[in-house]
Amino acid sequence: MQLGDQQPSGNVEDRLGIGVGGGLGIGGVVIAPVAYFLGFDPSTVINVAEQVSTQRSDTREVPKGAPTDETGQFVSKVLGSTETVWDKVFAQSNTRYRPPTLVLYDGQVRSACGMGQAAMGPFYCPNDEKLYLDLAFLRELQTRFRAPGDFAAAYVIAHEVGHHVQKLTGGFDRADARGRESNQNSIRMELQADCYAGVWGHYAGTMNQVDSGDIAEGLNAAAAVGDDNIQRQTQGRVSPESFTHGSSAQRQRWFKRGLDSGKPSDCDTFGANAL
Ligand SMILES: [Zn+2]
């Protein structure tokens, strides 16, 4: 990616080093690389939140700003890029985009959706309109996703921002009306967030932020986080009835749809007969 000219977002809440928890245990290290990409699964978040809600957390207020270290700068610039894009897209329909806050945390964090922990991977909480990125994910940004792998990481952030766009445009309400916990609705929510990530990628391209290899990298990432791929790797077999985010092919398809057209109206996974 080419983010040199991108203004970093000031909507980053840096809680690194002030939260509870002494980093990841062994289990977290093993689970996390897969979980990074899973994104927000409302039922999982609530379940995990209930399991760990008795643990204490530091609730001190943290001022928002843009971190100055390399990884923090990257995250702030990607978030800034999504703000530029969604400002523009919302303005096209005469509405105003209200940007989310991005929280960087280490180990565990208290959100308005309950306690979050690193093994869950990045997630979005609609109740406080914040997206949460854990330190382990950020370390991956520095190592595995270091340029030219940065677009894959940006896709993950843009996907979580996609969930925020759903909050603003009624996607959560539509999913709730149909029973958000059902796997089918969860898949439609996730694929729509992928499509919105694609819409961001489309405009990032017009701002010359996307390198030639980035698109392939994003599609690769979308395939890697497909439920079939993850199940094959973690349990050795694929059970479509338990999918919550969509197959590799579906995630690629919806990401690409947003990427190609740049139109959120093409991301109507709830109205689509075939996903
Ligand atoms: Zn998601």
Torsion of CA 218, 219, 224, 225, to 10 degrees: 80
Bridge partners, 102 (sequence order): 12, 131
Place of tokens 């479509």: 240
pLDDT surpasses 60 at 51: no
- pLDDT > 70 fraction of the chain, expressed in percent and rounded: 80
Mean pLDDT of 2-23: 78
Distance of CA 1 from the midpoint of ligand 1 (Å):
22
101-105/12-14 β-pairing: parallel
Computed over every residue of the chain, the mean pLDDT equals 81
227: tokens are: 């439920």
The Cα-based distances of 56 to 23, 151, 229, 258 in angstroms read 15, 35, 35, 40
Strands 101-105 and 130-134: what pairing?
parallel
Ligand 1 centre distance from Cα of residue 156 (Å): 9
DSSP-assigned letter for residue 178: T
Give me the pLDDT at residue 23, please. 37
User: What's the average model confidence in pLDDT over 200-212?
Assistant: 95
Q: Which two tokens stand for residue 193?
A: 């967030």
Distance 40 CA to ligand 1 centre (A): 4
Q: Give pLDDT, residue 22.
A: 36
Lowest mean pLDDT among 111-115, 181-185, 240-244, 261-265: 181-185
pLDDT of residue 147: 58
Report whether pLDDT(261) > 70. yes
R_g of the chain computed on alpha carbons: 17
pLDDT band at 226 (very low <50, low <70, confident <90, very high): confident
Q: Percentage of residues in the chain with pLDDT exceeding 90?
A: 47
pTM of this structure? 0.84
Answer yes or no: is pLDDT of 191 > 80: yes
Burial grade of 120 (CB within 10 A; 0-12, 13-18, 19 or more): buried
C-alpha of residue 197 to centroid of ligand 1, in Å: 10
Task: Give the contacts of 198 (CB within 8 A, at least 6 positions apart).
Answer: 254, 255, 256, 257, 258, 259, 260, 267
pLDDT at 249: 95
Residue 244's closest CA among 158, 167, 181, 198?
181
The letter for the amino acid at 174 is R
Confidence of residue 56 (pLDDT cuts 50, 70, 90): very low
Question: CA dist 219 to 60, 129, 138, 253, Å?
Answer: 39, 27, 21, 9
State in Å: Cα 147 to ligand 1 middle.
23
Residue 269 alpha carbon to ligand 1 centre in Å: 14
Secondary structure (DSSP) of 200-222: HHHHHHHTT---TTHHHHHHHHH
| Residue 50: pLDDT band with limits 50, 70, 90 | very low
